[in-house]
């Protein structure tokens, strides 16, 4: 006998089976009969199951880009399975979690409004409810009856909503799969595509054996889909019915899989206890780190999926025996289970209006701020819009044309027709002109329309592109409207008439009382609210922007004013006064008295808690920068909101803005990132005098440098010839030269100093011979430049050791030449030591 594989392809359905060839050759004959029966049964099976499968469509919700919700063509869809005749439908959590305006369509085409009633992201299952009666619920199989190799069919809504209740057929490829899920999954080669999520995987009895959830989509990967097994579906549905959510047992264990389990090899190693939460059920039961979990109740566990499958059999409050391996001993410990409190998914509310079409009833489109409007064809899709709305582009849903509108301000209305035509001719250097290397003008004219005259240029770009550009002058603005079509569309007379009709509808007016007119203006002069992961919300002027997405730094449009938010944890025993005193002391320690100012803290109230406001200013000798910080403590976190700006920009308008910012601040503990822990305030631990050893092995010296100084090296990471150690307003720099003659280096340095003094008498210096490190002869130069853009002083040392010339520069701006800064700088230099010598200045 031998193993054979037969592939039968009928009607686009491929059936694959492995069988044993018997000496009587009865096997193949039986297989053909069986395959024919299966093919004959499939239509009846689908006919039985399909009424229980529905298509789900809705509008995706986005906290990042709210414009997505307003795009009538931006829709999301999936599939669901009816589980109760009164309109209860199970689907994937990822299908409906962020879906608004849900619409459910049954297999015969009846449409219902729906809403997500329950969501469980851990299992990726959810319920959708529609107002209906007499629906046909699906019949669920038993997981124990599912066999690898049995024929199955997937029913769903792949790719497009127009393809709802599509059927693909395959086999069960595997059971107990662990792929991006807490629980086991069914593997199938039945085609599962985007939109199939939430649909039914059925057996040849028409019973649901799983809910389709995902597929592998990568180059070279085919027919690799997965479904949530029916027993997990039943488990979740039961919890939804009894508790409104899935109640999961909590042990307090963090477990680690063996290497074999991670890579998919069979493993009998169990799960190592990586961590035990304090005061958790596991801790109370005496389970300790590094013990190995062997079984949960009667279920042995080797993987995290095994563990989750076993623990889901128990409810919070129940007691379970956990067998563990501790060294050579086997232990059993009884754990009274707690409840796992995962962050529950927030059910998405419907968008404004109940229609799936966000633009229902809108036949015109325009911008109320820039004052234009035009017809709104059903297929017009907004592609891109600038932040202020002065540039916007559209495409046709069928890909037949593209349209752009650009508004340029500060344009004279007295521009002549010839000048206007010349101006808009340059607009052919647009995104669309890339379709050809040069544009051939086909038409150019000034159209004298009574209400809205315009300049018009039609050109051919390359072989396939045609561009019509229209320019309008109105109210000191140039409105440029540009249409791009392909040659096929341009030469179609009826199409060309429809495009011209669209362009002719463009008006330099916006009727706010017209309910059929959709306003796409994004211009905003009001404050914008920003919310951070730390629960803090704050309003800033619309013109201000975040430094980058997720940053807590903000800038005005000229980047001259900034606002930063700093959040740290309040240490035990710390107070608002102690915190503010530390910050003021640190600021004053950075600058000498003539170059800083700190006002006395002013008491305030922020979101119901005490706060202190501190005004400050500083300068390095040229421009003064001012600012103010607001300090407050709430919900165990310390918040500092700091605004800085050039001192000469401080005026009543800035004061008003600051007052509005402070009044807007709120802290909501519920919106904090659930994973936030203790955030150490580094200023509490900072020691400006603590040093770390730097060793330059190439040039044989060491230094002890304050650890809060920054280190800069030359562009070549392997070149240690130049090394700088910086702090705000100063640095220590070491330049090592093993190629030049020491006397020549000294000569060049002195010539440079003399040259600087000759060109500017405010640049002064002195020179002397000194001995360093006990026996090293050196040159010492002291430089002072009091009239510089930023006044500074320098001490420069030149010395030679074993054919290496060292130039060490100690520089401080006068503004930061505090006794402490100067002492640290000198101490760092005094620590200079040769590697084969004795370190000094420890």
Catalytic residue positions?
A: 94, 124, 197
Count of C-beta atoms within a 10 Å radius of residue 777: 12
Q: Which residues contact 365 (CB under 8 A, 6 or more apart)?
A: 373, 374, 375, 376, 380, 517, 518, 520
Q: Which residues contact 776 (CB under 8 A, 6 or more apart)?
A: 799, 800, 801
Helices (H), 9-64: 26-49
User: What is the number of alpha carbons within 13 Å of residue 171 lying toward its C-beta?
Assistant: 14
Q: Which residues contact 45 (CB under 8 A, 6 or more apart)?
A: 153, 202, 204, 205, 206
Judging by DSSP bridges, how do beta strands 517-519 and 364-367 pair with one another? parallel
Q: Which residues contact 527 (CB under 8 A, 6 or more apart)?
A: 539, 540, 541, 542, 660, 664
**Can you tell me the distance from the alpha carbon of 641 to that of 812, in angstroms, rounded to the nearest whole number?**
30
Tell me the β-bridge partners of 454: 447
Sign of the CA dihedral with 697 first, then 702, 708, and 710 last:
negative
At residue 320's C-alpha, the angle toward residues 315 and 326, to 5°, is 140
**Can you tell me the distance from the alpha carbon of 483 to that of 441, in angstroms, rounded to the nearest whole number?**
15
**Can you tell me the distance from the alpha carbon of 629 to that of 612, in angstroms, rounded to the nearest whole number?**
8
Hey, is 619 helix, strand or coil?
Answer: strand
Which residue in 110, 104, 109 sits closest to 91, CA to CA?
104
Judging by DSSP bridges, how do beta strands 701-706 and 691-696 pair with one another? antiparallel
Judging by DSSP bridges, how do beta strands 792-801 and 666-667 pair with one another? unpaired
Count of C-beta atoms within a 10 Å radius of residue 112: 18
Give me the phi and psi of 49, to 5 degrees please. -90, -30
Q: Which residues contact 595 (CB under 8 A, 6 or more apart)?
A: 618, 619, 620, 621, 814, 815, 816
The DSSP secondary-structure symbol of 675 reads: T
Tell me the β-bridge partners of 634: 637
**Can you tell me the distance from the alpha carbon of 541 to that of 559, in angstroms, rounded to the nearest whole number?**
13
Judging by DSSP bridges, how do beta strands 53-60 and 99-105 pair with one another? antiparallel
As a whole number of Å, the end-to-end CA separation of the chain is 86
- Longest CA–CA span in the chain (Å) reads 114
Judging by DSSP bridges, how do beta strands 125-130 and 517-519 pair with one another? unpaired
Hey, is 682 helix, strand or coil?
Answer: helix
Q: Which residues contact 429 (CB under 8 A, 6 or more apart)?
A: none
User: What is the number of alpha carbons within 13 Å of residue 429 lying toward its C-beta?
Assistant: 3
């Amino acid at each position: 006998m031998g193993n054979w594989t037969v592939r039968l392809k009928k009607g686009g359905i491929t059936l694959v089976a492995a069988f044993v060839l018997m000496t009587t050759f009865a096997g193949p004959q039986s297989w053909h009969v069986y395959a024919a029966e299966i093919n004959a049964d499939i239509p009846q099976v689908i006919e039985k199951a399909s009424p229980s499968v529905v298509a789900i469509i809705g509008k995706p919700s986005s906290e990042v880009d709210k414009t997505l919700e307003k795009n009538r063509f931006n829709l999301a869809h999936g599939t669901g399975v009816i589980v109760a005749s009164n309109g209860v439908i199970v689907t994937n959590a990822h299908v409906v979690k962020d879906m608004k305006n849900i619409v459910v369509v049954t297999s015969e085409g009846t449409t219902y409004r729906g809403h997500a009633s329950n969501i469980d992201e851990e299992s990726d299952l959810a319920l959708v409810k529609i107002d209906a009666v007499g629906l046909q619920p699906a019949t669920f199989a038993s997981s124990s009856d599912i066999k690898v190799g049995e024929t199955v069919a997937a029913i769903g809504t792949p790719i497009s909503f127009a393809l709802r209740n599509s059927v693909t057929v395959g086999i069960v490829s595997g059971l107990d799969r662990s792929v991006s899920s807490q629980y086991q999954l069914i593997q199938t080669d039945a085609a599962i595509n985007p939109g199939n999520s939430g649909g039914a995987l059925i057996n040849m009895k028409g019973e649901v054996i799983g809910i389709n959830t995902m597929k592998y989509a990568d180059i070279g990967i085919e027919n690799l889909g997965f479904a949530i097994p029916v027993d997990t579906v039943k488990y979740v549905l039961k919890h939804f019915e009894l508790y409104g959510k899935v109640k999961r047992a909590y042990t307090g264990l963090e477990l680690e899989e063996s290497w074999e389990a991670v890579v998919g090899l069979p493993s009998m190693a169990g799960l190592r206890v990586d961590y035990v939460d304090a005061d958790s059920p596991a801790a109370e039961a005496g389970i300790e780190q590094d013990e190995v979990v062997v079984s949960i109740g009667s279920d042995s566990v080797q993987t995290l999926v095994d563990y989750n499958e076993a623990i889901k059999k128990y409810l919070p409050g129940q007691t379970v025996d956990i067998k563990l391996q501790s060294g050579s001993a086997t232990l059993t410990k009884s754990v009274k289970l707690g409840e796992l409190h995962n962050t529950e998914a927030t059910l998405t509310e419907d968008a404004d209006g109940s229609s799936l079409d966000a633009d229902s009833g809108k036949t015109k489109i325009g911008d109320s701020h820039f004052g234009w409007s035009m017809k709104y064809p059903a297929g017009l899709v907004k592609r891109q819009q600038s932040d202020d709305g002065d540039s916007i582009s559209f495409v046709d849903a069928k890909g037949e044309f593209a349209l752009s509108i650009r508004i340029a301000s500060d344009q004279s209305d007295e521009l002549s027709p010839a000048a206007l035509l010349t101006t808009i001719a340059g607009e052919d250097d647009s995104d669309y002109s890339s379709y050809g290397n040069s544009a051939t003008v086909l038409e150019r004219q000034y159209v004298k329309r009574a209400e809205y005259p315009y300049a018009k240029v039609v050109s051919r770009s390359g072989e396939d592109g045609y561009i019509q550009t229209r320019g309008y002058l109105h109210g000191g603005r140039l409105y440029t409207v540009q249409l791009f079509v392909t040659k096929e569309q341009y030469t179609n007379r009826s199409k060309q008439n429809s495009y011209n009709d669209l362009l002719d509808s463009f008006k330099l007016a916006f009727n706010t009382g017209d309910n059929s007119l959709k306003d796409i203006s994004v211009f905003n002069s009001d404050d914008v609210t920003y919310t951070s992961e730390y629960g803090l919300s704050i309003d800033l002027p619309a013109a201000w922007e975040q430094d980058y997405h997720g940053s807590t730094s903000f800038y005005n449009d000229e980047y001259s004013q900034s606002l930063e938010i700093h959040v740290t944890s309040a240490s035990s025993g710390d107070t608002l006064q102690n915190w503010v005193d530390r910050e003021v002391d640190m600021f004053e320690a950075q600058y000498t008295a003539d170059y800083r100012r700190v006002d006395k803290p002013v008491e305030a109230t922020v979101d119901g808690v005490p706060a202190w406001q501190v005004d400050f200013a500083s300068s390095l000798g040229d421009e003064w920068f001012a600012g103010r910080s607001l300090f407050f403590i709430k919900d165990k976190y310390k918040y500092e909101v700091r605004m800085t700006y050039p001192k000469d920009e401080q005026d009543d308008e800035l004061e008003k803005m600051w007052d509005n910012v402070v009044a807007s601040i709120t802290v909501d503990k519920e919106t904090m990132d659930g994973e936030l822990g203790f955030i150490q305030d580094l200023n509490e631990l900072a020691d400006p005098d603590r040093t770390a050893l730097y060793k330059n092995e190439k040039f044989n010296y060491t230094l002890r440098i304050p650890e809060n100084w920054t280190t800069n090296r030359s562009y070549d990471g392997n070149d240690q010839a130049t090394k700088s150690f910086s702090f705000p307003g100063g640095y220590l720099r070491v330049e090592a030269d093993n190629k030049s003659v020491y006397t020549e280096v000294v000569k060049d340095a002195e010539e440079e100093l003399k040259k600087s003094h000759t060109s500017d008498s405010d640049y002064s210096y002195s020179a002397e011979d000194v001995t360093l490190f006990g026996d090293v002869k050196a040159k010492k130069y002291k430089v002072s430049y009091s009239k510089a853009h930023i006044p500074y002083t320098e001490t420069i040392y030149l010395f030679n050791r074993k054919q290496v010339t060292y130039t060490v520069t100690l520089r401080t701006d006068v503004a930061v030449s505090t006794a402490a800064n100067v002492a640290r700088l000198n101490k760092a230099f005094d620590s200079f030591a040769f590697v084969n010598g004795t370190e000094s200045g420890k």
